[in-house]
Amino acid sequence: MAFTRERQVPANGLDFFVAEAGEAGAPLVLCLHGFPECWASWRYQLPVLAQSGYYAVAPDLRGYGFTGGPKEADSYRQSLLVEDVMALIQALGYESAILMGHDWGCGLAWQVARQHPDAIEAVIGMSVPYGGPAPEPPTAAMRKLFEDRFFYMLYFQQPALPEQELEADVAHSLRCIFHGLSAEGIADFNAKPDDTGFLQSMPVPDTQPRWMREEDLAYYVERFEHSGFTGPINWYRAMDASWEESREDSHWQIAMPTLFIGGLQDPVIMFGQKALQRMPDYIPDLRTVMLDQCGHWIQMEQAAEVNREILAFLEEIHASERSASKK
């Protein structure tokens, strides 16, 4: 994509593919994508951030795209993912960064911010609310809630089968997922208790949405045909191990300025209402923006509005810093 530069950055034992816009030395905004995505989920944000004086960097995260990663699920524990982010910040020549994350990238941003508060200047999270510590392992909570009904995160715990489904026709899989969890497609999404696969309940769109053109989709397809889905799905398979790693942690506050953006038609927001309500208890310096007619793919579906909110937030915190420095 013409507005970005692309390169490989060695960090934490991996060779991260990154796309970057803006000049190194400007304030760093590190953008963390979700599932099933790649750096290009930030293609509408990188040039805007660069034009506003930031150095915006979006990697393909561990297991994704042209970064790749190990095949073992244990290599996707939260502690390693946090190490990836900290190592990337340092490899880019910085001691601190503004973190921006969506979906799994949002969850990762929360964990980096709470564990390394001195290295994170601000957080912009999208789609996944931060609710502090969980009382039990994620899969145990999901089994209690869904019992014998189908739920994709539990389905993803199975070996090989989810990959076989999604890799059978990568273009079809991505087309269905992006449409099915968008504001346009969610009305037709009809998950059934006896589903046996992730894609069964997702309608096949007649046309691509304006924010995911055919050439955009082809770019995603190329990356998943290269990497496969094992690495990305391993983020789900490592959920319980990640919970075990952090169960004794005592510090769950996120102190730095934080912006959270959610879509009112996003099923993750619908599922995460309790966490959304708890966020102010754990993030005292929080601003929350909820966008109507917006599904899960927030920064793509409503790119212009999201960009306005991001820039207003960044200007607010930098104005506060300038004011404080004059005192």
Which two structure tokens, joined as six digits, stand for 134?
């969980």
Residue 116: active-site member: no
- Which one of the listed residues 103, 179, 216, 266 is annotated catalytic? 103
SS3 313: helix
- Which one of the listed residues 33, 102, 179, 296 is annotated catalytic? 296
Return d(Cα 213, Cα 224) in angstroms, integer: 17
Identify how many contiguous H helices and E strands the chain contains and give both numbers. 14, 8
> ∠ CA 49-10-70 to the nearest 5 degrees?
110
* C-beta separation of 99 from 232 below 8 A: no
Strands, E, within 131-244: which ranges? none
Residue 296: active-site member: yes
Q: What is the CA radius of gyration of the chain?
A: 19
Burial class (CB in 10 A: 0-12, 13-18, 19+), 289: middle
Return d(Cα 40, Cα 102) in angstroms, integer: 12
Which two structure tokens, joined as six digits, stand for 172?
């079809």
Helix (H) or strand (E) holding 165: helix 161-167
* C-beta separation of 52 from 29 below 8 A: no
Return d(Cα 171, Cα 166) in angstroms, integer: 9
Residues assigned a catalytic role: 103, 296
